[in-house]
Amino acid sequence: MTETVDRPAGIRPTALTRRPVIQAAVGAAAAFVSAALIWVCRLWDPSVHYVSQLGATGMPTAPVFNLALLLLAVAAVLVDRALHRGPNDVYDVGWPIATTLLLCGLCFGIASAVTCSPGCPVPFTPGALPQDLVHITFAVIGFVLAIVAMGQVALVRRRPWMRGASLLILIAVGATSFTGAMLALFRGDTVLGGNLEFTAATLAIAWFGVFGSQIASELRTAWRDGRGF
């Protein structure tokens, strides 16, 4: 007689292996390392006010910062891959969250490869080069997609803990990044604006780590119990 295994309602069964567990766990670790490296760069050169300046051409922090950005891209893509083998219909709000993460990762990957010119000038201002437009565009789109992913997870009813964490981080990231942007736009306190930007970036990157850890935990539990999603 074949033994049947009860599965949570609404989660379709698929084959479950160790690979997605490893992908999610490595993705989470990559995100946390990315956040740590960015703060290493920040402490290395505290005179830099804004995040992207750390990766500008000629900056001593550029290799480490761009590695951190690349690790963030890797984190987003790995968690996306894990979701494709895991609870993908649970994490489907409007469209698959995995899709948002994949696009987010690709944007950060491009931003890590195409860096700012020295000083990281704002596009279309004196001294700005085409690479500044490319870098800023993909970095901003990647950041916005990260916020979209947080919003999607905040609407997932089956995961109340992750939902609450995502909502809190989303509010914090939105408040700090908006305030920092307003200070930059109206030429306010650049030190405060820079600190707020670093805070927003750190929170957003840490969210990838937390979400990846949550997915790895869910997949590991299901694998251990002998049931698939």
Tens digit of each residue's pLDDT (9 = 90 or more) over 3-51: 334 444 444 444 446 788 888 899 999 999 999 999 898 888 877 777 8
Identify whether 120 is part of a domain: yes
Cα(215)–Cα(76) distance, integer angstroms: 12
Identify whether 22 is part of a domain: yes
Cα(206)–Cα(166) distance, integer angstroms: 11
Identify whether 153 is part of a domain: yes
pTM exceeds 0.75, yes or no: yes
Identify whether 11 is part of a domain: no
Tens digit of each residue's pLDDT (9 = 90 or more) over 139-172: 889 888 998 988 888 887 667 777 788 888 888 8
Domain that residue 182 falls in: 18-83+91-220
Residue 129 and residue 117 in contact, taking contact as beta carbons nearer than 8 Å: yes
The total domain count for the chain is 1
Identify whether 5 is part of a domain: no
Residue 165 and residue 145 in contact, taking contact as beta carbons nearer than 8 Å: no
